[in-house]
Structures are given as structure tokens and as C-alpha cells.
Copies of this chain bind each other. A is one copy, B any other.
Amino acid sequence: MSSALSPSRPAPRAHADERASRLLEHSRSLVRPALAEAIARLHPWVGEMAAYSLGWCEPGGAPVAAPAGGKGLRQALAVLGAEAAGAPRSAGVTAAVAVELVHTFSLLHDDIMDGDPTRRGRPTAWKAYGTGPAVLAGDALFALAVETLAATPGTGAPGTDIPSAVRHLSTALNDLVRGQADDLLFESRPWTGPEAVRPDEYRAMAEHKTGALLGCATALGAVLAGAPRETVAALDRAGRHLGLAFQVVDDLLGIWGDPAVTGKPVHADLLRGKKTFPVLAALGTPAGRPLARLLDSAGSLGAADARRAAALIEDAGGRGAATAEARRHIAAVEACLDGLPRTVRTGRTVRTTDDLRALLAHLVHREM
């Protein structure tokens, strides 16, 4: 699958991974000064909680020996999205800062809502600082993201459409909240019957919860670089499909993933009773009846039941359906990128989407 997404000359996997690592690293180093400058504008106490959440410091503010933050996927998408629209990577930095702040905000508040005590091997912010302060730190990151975008350098320059950028970000924020609301409500819905969660409801939830911010990240650099509406729409759609693919792959790993790799117990999502795509797909078929009986009868599954459920999901085609679903979204990412115009630069036509495609190929490679 992933080779279809690779840049024009297919490269060996190790080489592609190295290229993606370089792209992520380059984006992080490009964005980091502006991100640090934004965090420094916060109230010092709130800024410390933000820096902790970004993996930059310990509680109390001491710098960490080995930074524990994420890979910086969203900031890389913003930077390479600007490049894909024919602008220099630096034109995507403000967008990258805004989406990274929103991403950190959403992790902070989601961890409170989900009651998760750890993230990336460290206590979550609400565990380390208390619920009230973590709510406040999330709010501060949210406000800072909006401020950063509204104060984009070069405001008023031709093509710099700040209202459009703010609309993109606020649409992603609204979608994020909508997806989180549905995800929380899915927990109390039954496995079967007219109130059961349908696969199309799952898709809407996953697109909102995961896809919207990835779409915004991929498109926002291009928006600020003054890209045409069609380019922006294609980048946004690419990010949304990437999010859907991620979510479904995450569901597959949550049932059949290797605990040594995922860091979660075996059958984790089944033990938690999560309404994931493979389960919903299996329940939607006549072959899913034994699974339905098992899930409806058990309050919550024990280890033996979870093992049996995993086998029943596979028998009913849930695993295959989820794999096909992920592949469909990956193909859609590719189609979106294929539709982007080539860019004329210093007299020759270049594919400014190459690096974005390389990064996406790596992500897809790694996940599938």
C-alpha cells in the first residue's frame, strides 16, 4: 500500500524512513523557536504546565534530559503543506505553532475527560498539577493558538487571509469537540439494537476527533501562504483521510497489536469495551451474531472473553473490513495529493508535494 504513496522514485524502506525522520526533525527545528517564544508569553505557572505537556520540562520547571514530546507530526504537516502549495517551508511556521498548541490543548483536556493517568510514560498534566490547573493550562494553549494565528506576521500582505485561517482553525476546534463528545457518548450506547453505534457514526466521530486537526494542520500553512481554495481543500481532505486511517489502524493495534510495540496490554480495547471499527464492522454482519451474544451478555470482558471476542471479530470479517477501511483512506490521501498542481519555480516545473508525500508514505508504512 505504502509504495503507492511514495515520491516519484520509489526508495528502499530504510531510506524512506530516514528521509521522513529528517523531515520531522527539520520541521521541529524550524518551528521550535517560534513555539518556545509563544509559550514564553504565557503566565509563568501556566507556561510551565504547557512546557511539561510538550515534554520539555519536569513538574517544577527543570528541563528534561531526554525530551519526551511527540514526533511533531502536525507541525511537519503544516510546514510541508505550505511547501506543497509552492511557498517556502518557513511560510508554514505560524500555522505549525497554532496547530501544535491546539494539539497540546486537546491532549491536556482529553486526558482529564478520559481520566488517563499517564501519557508517553509520564503522569498526565492533571495528575501532576491537579484538574483545575490542567483545565486552565489547556484554555491558555487554546487562546494562545488563536492569538498566534490572528497576529500572523505579514497581516494585510496580499494573499495572507487571516480570517480564512482563523475559520479553518475554529472549524477544526469545533470538530474536535464534536468528535470527543460522540466518543464519550458512544461508551454508554449498546452493542446491538437500534441504539447501537453504526460504522458511519464511527467514521464521523473519527474524522472529527482525529482527522479535523490533521486536515487543518496540512491545509493551514497553505492558507497562510495564500494558496488557491482548491489546493487548500485537497490538503485538508488529505489530512482528514490520514486521521481516519490512523484511527482505524489504532483500533486494529488495540486488539491485535503486539503489547511490546503498542505499550498497551493485549486486547486492551476489548477489555475497556471500546466501540472500535473492527467490532462495529463485525457486528454489522450475520456472522457477527456469536460476538453480539458474547458482548451483550458480559458486563465487561475478562481476559479469556477478550481472547474469544478477538477470534469472533476476525471470523466475522471485522479485522479484514478494518484493514480495507484503512487502505481506502490511505488511497484517498494519495488521490488528494495527486490532484495538487505542480509548481513552476526558477524556470522549471517541480513537484513541491514530494516531501509531504514522503512523510505520509513513511507514516502509512509504519502503521500498516
A residues at B contact (CB < 8 Å): 41-43, 45-46, 109, 112-115, 131-133, 135-136, 138-140, 142-144, 146-147, 149-151, 155, 162-163, 166-167, 169-171, 173-174, 176-178, 180-182, 184-185
Cβ contact within 8 Å between A147 and B163:
no
| A43 touching B182 in the complex, CB below 8 Å, given contacts A132-B112, A139-B142, A146-B146 | yes
Cβ 8 A contact of A163, one of B46, B163, B184: B163
Chain B's nearest CB lies how many Å from the CB of A103?
Answer: 14
Cβ contact within 8 Å between A147 and B170:
yes
B residues in contact with A155, CB < 8 Å: 163
Cβ 8 A contact of A45, one of B132, B135, B142, B181: B181
CA–CA, A113 to B115, complex, Å?
Answer: 16
Cβ 8 A contact of A150, one of B144, B170, B177: B170
Cβ contact within 8 Å between B162 and A136:
no
Cβ 8 A contact of A136, one of B43, B150, B180: B180
B residues in contact with A136, CB < 8 Å: 109, 113, 177, 180-181, 184
B residues in contact with A174, CB < 8 Å: 41-42, 140, 143-144, 147
Cβ contact within 8 Å between B185 and A45:
yes
Cβ contact within 8 Å between A167 and B147:
yes
Cβ contact within 8 Å between B167 and A133:
no
Cβ 8 A contact of A147, one of B112, B171, B184: B171
CA–CA, A117 to B266, complex, Å?
Answer: 41
- Which residue of chain B lies nearest to A143 when distances are taken between CB atoms in the complex? B173
Cβ contact within 8 Å between A184 and B132:
yes
Cβ contact within 8 Å between A177 and B46:
yes
CA–CA, A131 to B109, complex, Å?
Answer: 11
CA–CA, A150 to B135, complex, Å?
Answer: 24
Known: A41-B174, A46-B178, A150-B167. 13 other contacts (CB 8 A): A46-B181, A112-B131, A135-B135, A136-B180, A138-B139, A139-B177, A143-B176, A143-B177, A144-B174, A147-B173, A151-B167, A162-B162, A163-B166
CA–CA, A21 to B326, complex, Å?
Answer: 59
| A112 touching B140 in the complex, CB below 8 Å, given contacts A146-B173, A170-B146, A181-B46 | no
Cβ 8 A contact of A166, one of B109, B140, B162, B177: B162
User: Can you report 26 A-B residue pairs in the complex whose CB atoms are below 8 A from each other?
Assistant: A43-B177, A43-B181, A46-B177, A46-B178, A109-B135, A109-B136, A109-B139, A112-B132, A113-B132, A115-B132, A135-B135, A135-B138, A136-B180, A139-B142, A139-B173, A140-B174, A142-B142, A143-B170, A143-B177, A146-B146, A146-B166, A146-B169, A146-B170, A147-B174, A162-B162, A163-B166
Return the 8 tightest CB-CB contacts between A and B, nearest first. A113-B132, A143-B173, A147-B170, A150-B166, A162-B163, A146-B170, A140-B177, A150-B167
CA–CA, A187 to B180, complex, Å?
Answer: 33
Chain B's nearest CB lies how many Å from the CB of A333?
Answer: 26
